[in-house]
Chain A
């Protein structure tokens, strides 16, 4: 039943990393990077989350099944976001066939 026992030092190292990244993300927010601000904030958040998942939650030492479950969850989340956005961001976009005027006139006849 005893899983992988992680050395104390590693935990503290990870913790230091997390605090460091928090400081970093807060700091970055005070610099104007234009579009990159959002991206940087999210990238740092992903790094932090990965640290927690891999070390605190022992995913690094877990079976493939656990990884699959986690992967599935994120794929599903991606599906939800991607397909919803595929609508929300293309409401204004309507494809125009190149010869549509001719077609319409043909139909009208």
Chain B
């Protein structure tokens, strides 16, 4: 699984590289774009995701100790928090940005100064958060499977590898967000 995560690092790595380069080319536009995002929602979502990571870690612990009920509870909690994150992301933020006309290629109505580069920022915003959300969705799928398997008592202290591996994946997606949050929301400065 770690090896797979290395693949994932490079997957996001390519995007981050592109982001870094354009940010340096068009600093002011990217900072302006960053200020247009809602930092409160971003921060709240970060907290939600961190919570889910905690519950996931506790879930793995429960599996290690063979506490079936606890495991299912924590997995369900993780799942719910994950869904909450996606809900906030898609339902609140994306919808808001779309309605405001900040969706490049789909609904772009903003034509202030330097809007072309601002659009570029929003491209990256949507690509990065979109691919992240896609990973979350995959994670939700994995969690659902795990919950069903856990409910049927498939795991024991001797055999809980799937839970641990899924945990790694979930934490990784969390880490990606830990970097996305400052890069997208904070880097423009809020002062």
Contact = CB atoms under 8 A, between A and B. Distances in A.
Contacts of B146: none
Nearest to A34: B189
A28 B16 CA distance: 22
B118 interface: no
Contact of B175 (A8, A25, A49, A84): A49
Contacts of A28: 186
A41 B187 contact: yes
Given A19-B47, A22-B50, A70 B6 contact: yes
Interface residues of A, number: 49
B171 A57 contact: yes
Contacts of B159: 1
Contacts of B167: 56-57
A105 B50 CA distance: 67
A58 B157 CA distance: 16
The A contact surface, by secondary structure, is helix
A66 B2 contact: yes
B3 A69 contact: yes
Contacts of A53: 171, 175
A57 B13 contact: no
Given A41-B187, A45-B179, A84-B17, A11 B64 contact: no
Contact of A45 (B21, B51, B171, B182): B182
Interface of A: 1-3, 5-6, 8, 11-12, 14-15, 18-19, 22-23, 25-26, 28-32, 37-38, 41-42, 44-45, 48-49, 52-53, 55-58, 66, 69-70, 72-74, 76-77, 80-81, 84-85, 88-89
Interface of B: 2-3, 5-6, 9-10, 13-14, 16-17, 20-21, 24-25, 39, 43, 46-47, 50-51, 53-54, 56-58, 61, 64-65, 157-161, 164, 167-168, 171-172, 174-175, 178-179, 181-183, 185-187, 189-191
Given A11-B54, A69-B5, 4 more contacts: A25-B182, A28-B186, A66-B2, A85-B21
